[in-house]
Amino acid sequence: MYKILAFDNGQPAILYHNGHNVYMYTAIRGHIHPEGIIFNDVKDDFRIYDGNKKYAFYISTDNKIKTATLSGNHFMEFLSIPLEDSKNGRTIVNVSPIMCENELYIFYCTHNNHSNFCDVYYLLCSAPNHTCLIKRNIKNYNDFDVVSSNRKTYIILQNDCYYLSKNGTITTITKNGPDNVNLAANETIEQLKDSLSEKSSELIKCQKQIYEKNMEISNLKYTKKQLSRQCEQLSSYVGKLQDELRRIKFM
């Protein structure tokens, strides 16, 4: 899986996720240069977000939510949240990172293993030490969802719908009634369509860039193979030439 981003100076970079490792390649003057492994503990859900800062998000092999930010030409980890909290009997069962207003939010649902209820929180990656509670004691974590549309982030919890304002305030749109939830959903459906259309265009553009980079990598591999073959032929020719010179010398 390839991800494409740009450093602050505009230089493009390619991140290649394979197994637990993420490799970085830089593109300079039409040539691809390997920069080595930047993450070696990726278990699942590796994503790149581009806003006020560039973020890498993933679930690690030691079962943690990890987030890193791009600093210069390398990533620095700044957030690591264990999915399992055996001491307090809690487990994070639903994680939804989402970009809104050029800020990365991470919404997550913790399951209380004793009461069998869930609490929903969010944090802002620009202020990761401050966790905000949205709602306590929901019965089913599958009733929790987050969507972003028209520069707003909407949180849906069972029959309640909220949105997150710029100052981080959770505002209730509807409460206690599926009809009201449907009404709120209908009011934003056109916004969601516009958002999906924009994302589709971005996806097509990214896929085109990935295809072009794959072609560059394929061409580089072919060139390397050809050079290796030419080196072998040259080595064989040099060997024959040396044998011929020795034969002439002792004639």
Cβ(112)–Cβ(119) below 8 Å: yes
Residue 171: inside a domain: no
Residue 35: inside a domain: yes
Residue 140: inside a domain: no
Residue 53: inside a domain: yes
Cβ(59)–Cβ(50) below 8 Å: no
Query: What is this structure's pTM?
Result: 0.62
Per-residue pLDDT for the chain (251 aa), expressed as one digit of tens each? 778 888 877 788 888 898 899 999 887 777 788 889 999 999 988 999 988 889 999 999 999 999 999 988 889 999 999 999 888 888 988 888 888 778 888 888 888 888 888 888 888 888 888 888 887 888 776 667 777 666 667 777 666 777 776 666 666 765 544 444 444 455 555 555 566 666 677 777 777 788 788 888 888 888 888 888 887 877 777 677 777 777 776 66
Domain count for the chain = 1
Amino acid residing at 126: S
Instruction: For residue 55, give its domain range.
Output: 1-81
Structure token digits, residue 103: 């800020």
Distances (CA, A) of 172 to 155, 162, 180, 184: 9, 4, 12, 11
Residue 249: inside a domain: no
